[in-house]
Amino acid sequence: MNLLIHLTYLAPIVAAVGILLGLQPRRTATYAALIALVSALVVFLGYSRAQAGFQFESAIPLVPSWDLKFFVGVDGLSATLLLLTSIVELAAVWLAPTVESGENPYYACILLIAAGAAGAFASLDLFFFYAFHELALIPTFLMIGIWGLGNRQSVAWKITIYLSVGSIILLVGLIGLYLLPPPQARTFDIVKLQQLASTGAFAGSGSKSVFILLLIGFGILVSLFPFHTWAPQAYASAPVPVAMLHAGVLKKFGLYGLLRVALPMMPEAARHWAPLLLILLAGNLLYVGMATISQKQLDLTLGYSSVMHMGYIFLGIASYNVIGLNGAALLMLAHGLSIAALFAMCGEIRRQTGTVNYLDLGGLGTSMPTLCFIFGLATFASIGLPGFANFASELLIFFGAFKNSAPGAPLNEFQIVGTIALWGVVISTVYMLRAYRAIFMGERQARWQYVKDMPMNLGWAVILLVGALLVFGLLPRTVLDAVEPGIRLFAK
């Protein structure tokens, strides 16, 4: 059974190498993505909710004196994110276009991004947890710079600088975490580190300094305000599969790191820095939300929207209770599926019309009825309508935020930011319905009369993504029952 976890990242890596050596790219990438999806699905369904804890573990010792080993395994949270990665990976491969030059490197880069994300989520060793994420960043930079749109090279440099700085700060924080315990207790093993945390090994002023480094490092990678400006432009310029994988999956690495490393090991430091996090996430919700409303292109709207929705997940994390953290974990899955579906359909609109500017579009619902319908479903999911996983997760986050008060007590900072988050739902409704109306409603311009409905490859991809949103929206306990036992180990 342990082999299944290895297949989630090994299948795309092996396929990427094979493609670079000359294998047929689309077929090879599809087979690898299917193997990864089946493996992740079996792990997710086979994870014992009753037993909880880390399962499917596999360890290969490398440097015994440092307690460094290649160590993988999953709990409910990482099993959920592995499933998200494999779903988006398969959808991204399905709709990847035929590239005139460099098709083999193009598909290889897609697979390496997915492999890096899967490896990071499966790793139970700090070194490989960090290394796999860096593996995913390199092909991301290359794809934006080589196959991107618009001012792609400038955007590629910007995202490289931002994410490199975030990675360096994160690395310093992880080294600080490794050095906090006494020399004889130092380890890269995340399971042992969590056990050390239960003994108070990470308490004290030093943990506060390490935590803020981790918060800033992970925050830059997640586009926490005010470190968010790289993300919207990067997603607007990136090839569609990269936008899907980065916004839908890779961005969740920073959030996962907070839930896997920072909060469980340094709970006192997390509470100490919670007011700062609340201020920053309010910027994601209000400032970025208003910036999203002002956008006049669909790709930038989706890019800013992705940044804004990170504020909800950070609110669930800052609440530091089981309800809010459950909501954050579920929203990581829901947002990944919905934003990937929206970027996929945005790419199809651009491919057929050559533009995603609202002023140039209108009336496409006549020519693209199926895409119009599915785009509407993804829009409803994004704004949190009942029936989709986004609704259940955001509701839990709001409950978690408002739980942090005593009965009869005046509003504290959590309730204030929670109220702002409720207004954020209104903001997201405004910009998403505005986008939907501008693209699909109204009178169709004559030049769009030859636009066709979505092709089969896009249809299967978005049906997979939106279908998963509905399944987890109607059955959220399938995720929450897996995630909650791990959260209860460090939160109440």
Find, among 295, 316, 278, 294, the residue nearest to 411 by Cα.
Answer: 278
Question: Residue 196 corresponds to which tokens in the numbers above?
Answer: 């050390």
Amino acid at the residue 315: L
User: Would the pTM count as exceeding 0.95?
Assistant: no
Kindly state the DSSP code that residue 492 receives in the 8-state scheme.
-
Quote the CA–CA distance of 421 and 418 in Å, as a whole number. Answer: 5
Residues 6+ apart with CB under 8 A from 377: 466, 469
> Do 363 and 448 contact (CB within 8 A), yes or no?
yes
Residue 390 contacts residue 469 (beta carbons within 8 Å): yes
Tens-digit pLDDT string for the chain (492 aa): 578 899 999 999 999 999 999 899 999 999 999 999 999 999 999 888 888 788 888 888 888 777 788 889 999 999 999 999 999 999 999 988 777 678 899 999 999 999 999 999 999 999 999 999 999 989 998 899 888 887 888 888 888 899 999 999 999 999 998 888 887 877 888 888 888 887 777 777 788 889 999 999 999 999 999 988 888 988 988 899 999 999 999 999 999 999 999 898 888 888 889 899 999 999 999 999 999 999 999 999 999 999 999 999 999 999 888 999 999 999 999 999 999 999 999 999 998 888 899 988 888 888 888 999 999 999 999 998 899 999 999 999 999 988 876 565 667 788 888 888 888 889 999 999 999 999 998 887 778 788 888 888 888 999 999 999 999 999 999 999 999 988 888 877
